[in-house]
Amino acid sequence: MPGEPLLTTAEVAHRLRIKPETVYAYVSRGLLDRVKVPGERVSRFRLADVERLAARTQATRPERDAAPAMRTATTLIAYGRLHYRGLDAAALAPVTSFEEVAQWLWTGERRHAAFTASPETLERARRASEHLPAQARVFDRLPVIVAVAAAMDPLRFDLAPATVTALAPGLLSTMVDALPQVGEAPPDDGLATRLWSRLTGTPAYPDGVRALNAALVLLADHDLAASTIAVRVAASTRAHPYAAVLAGLGALDGPMHGAIGASVHRFIEAALRDGVPAAIAEWLRTGGLPGFGHPRYPDGDPRGAALLDLVTALPIEGALRRTVDDLVATAARRGALPNVDFAVATLAHATGMGPGAAEVIFAVARTAGWIAHVVEEYAQPSNRFRWSSGYTGPPPAAG
């Protein structure tokens, strides 16, 4: 066809992501036709033929450019345990404040310091989130709050590690303190206590706050989860830390990631209402038991076990305790052990928190880990995450 685009061997090899000699192997096998151009001694290939071959090979055997490595010194999942810079997270959770663990993730130094935010930033973030409709989830307020905190920080484009770790306590404080107050003003300045009063009207008490603090510690980071990858990709473009956190919140909101907590909450609710056998039968029919099992922990999620130990020690109402015990025992007979999502949902039920509490706890906690990954990513070459698409659509039009 006159004017039909023709490609060189090198161009074909680049498009198909193969070696030039493989192009001629395709020719010899009849997968690709050569075109002789008068006056030229080299072979040419029709663009349409190459695109058809690309669609065929890449649809059945996707070949991507090698993905850049995401290396981290922050978190390791090994030997059935979760470690933050070498320390066992489940061992830290019952005895260490979330603030101290966050500092450990960011700097490798263990120290507790109160997290506070600018009063003006807090007031503006509260006012902005108040404009959301009545049906908005508590989680829906967090992206608004983070966006306001970003706009209020003139140093947000300073990506130096010291600047990023300096802004992080204020960001976490704003995320918590700009949420609507549900319960009484907290008796102390700990972040867990302040978050408690945003999630439940039940008065705060030491063992309950200790369990909520442990949940924050256990969820602070988890290697390269989907939301953390989103954060690091954003940071690689040199998006400021607040923008990177917003990328993480977007990924976290997926029903197969941070938002799964609401499903677990409803699962426990159904078991309380309809009985454990009926609830399990219904959830198995629609896909599986939320809150049980984890691919990274075939022998059981240590985060779930550690948090459940603290939650079951709380003054839990009798029907809830029996239901939780029955769910755990029934699932165990199927070889499924409770994970951290089940433990957080149990905490929410035991303390009067609503179904949206779990994803808020998850988001606040994981922001600490995201900041640690942001600092690591800023030390890497920029824009390093770029994959080839493996295009399988129609070839470009001639002309």
Domain with residue 19: its CATH number is 1.10.1660.10
Residue 297, domain member (yes or no): yes
> What per-residue confidence (pLDDT) applies to 2?
54
**Are 42 and 136 part of one and the same domain?**
no
The pLDDT tens digits for 343-386 are: 999 999 999 999 999 999 999 999 999 999 999 999 999 999 88
Q: What is the DSSP string of 164-195?
A: HHHHHHHHHHHHHHTSPP-SSPPSS--HHHHH
Residue 130, domain member (yes or no): yes
Catalytic residues: 294, 341
Q: How many whole angstroms separate alpha carbon 81 and alpha carbon 101?
A: 16
Domain boundary among 20, 37, 60: 60
Q: How many domains does the chain have?
A: 2
**Are 216 and 267 part of one and the same domain?**
yes
**Are 31 and 150 part of one and the same domain?**
no
**Are 25 and 140 part of one and the same domain?**
no
Nearest to 102 by CA among 213, 246, 224: 213
> What per-residue confidence (pLDDT) applies to 399?
56
To the nearest 10°, report the CA torsion of 106, 294, 67, 25.
170
Q: Which segments in the chain show pLDDT lower than 70? A: 1-3, 58-67, 398-399
Helix (H) or strand (E) holding 116: none
Half-sphere exposure of 49 (CA within 13 A, CB side): 21
> What per-residue confidence (pLDDT) applies to 84?
97
Nearest to 50 by CA among 106, 6, 100: 6
Domain with residue 137: its CATH number is 1.10.580.10
Q: Is residue 235 exposed (0-12), middle (13-18) or buried (19+ Cβ within 10 Å)?
A: buried
Residue 119, domain member (yes or no): yes
**Are 126 and 27 part of one and the same domain?**
no
Domain span at residue 258 reads 75-378
Q: Is residue 24 exposed (0-12), middle (13-18) or buried (19+ Cβ within 10 Å)?
A: middle
Q: Is residue 45 exposed (0-12), middle (13-18) or buried (19+ Cβ within 10 Å)?
A: buried
**Are 88 and 54 part of one and the same domain?**
no
Helix (H) or strand (E) holding 15: helix 9-16
Structure-token match 């989830």, residue found: 137
Q: How many whole angstroms separate alpha carbon 280 and alpha carbon 326?
A: 11
> What per-residue confidence (pLDDT) applies to 60?
47
**Are 55 and 80 part of one and the same domain?**
no
Q: How many whole angstroms separate alpha carbon 122 and alpha carbon 178?
A: 6
Measured at the CA of 239, the angle between CA 251 and CA 85, to 5 degrees, comes to: 70
Greatest alpha-carbon span in the chain: 90
- Please report, in angstroms and rounded to a whole number, the separation of the first and last CA atoms in the chain: 11
**Are 221 and 190 part of one and the same domain?**
yes
Residue 241, domain member (yes or no): yes
> What per-residue confidence (pLDDT) applies to 398?
65
Measured at the CA of 323, the angle between CA 318 and CA 324, to 5 degrees, comes to: 100
Residue 103, domain member (yes or no): yes
> What per-residue confidence (pLDDT) applies to 255?
84
Q: How many whole angstroms separate alpha carbon 344 and alpha carbon 177?
A: 21
Alpha-carbon torsion (114, 117, 123, 128), positive or negative: negative
> What per-residue confidence (pLDDT) applies to 62?
43
> What per-residue confidence (pLDDT) applies to 37?
83
Query: What Cα–Cα distance (Å) separates residue 42 from each residue in 14, 17, 20, 36, 147?
Result: 17, 20, 13, 8, 57
Q: Are 344 and 78 in contact (CB under 8 A)?
A: no
Q: How many whole angstroms separate alpha carbon 180 and alpha carbon 50?
A: 59
Burial string for 171-193 (b: 16+ CB within 10 Å, else e) reads: bbbbbbbbbeebeeebeeebbbb
**Are 29 and 176 part of one and the same domain?**
no
238: Cβ contacts below 8 Å, ≥ 6 apart: 159, 378, 382
**Are 119 and 263 part of one and the same domain?**
yes
Q: How many whole angstroms separate alpha carbon 366 and alpha carbon 224?
A: 12
**Are 271 and 173 part of one and the same domain?**
yes
Residue 184, domain member (yes or no): yes
**Are 128 and 43 part of one and the same domain?**
no
Residue 385, domain member (yes or no): no
Residue 396, domain member (yes or no): no
Q: How many whole angstroms separate alpha carbon 149 and alpha carbon 124?
A: 8
Spatial strand order of the sheet with 81-84 comes to 75-78, 81-84, 87-88
Structure-token match 């663009």, residue found: 47
DSSP state of 380: S
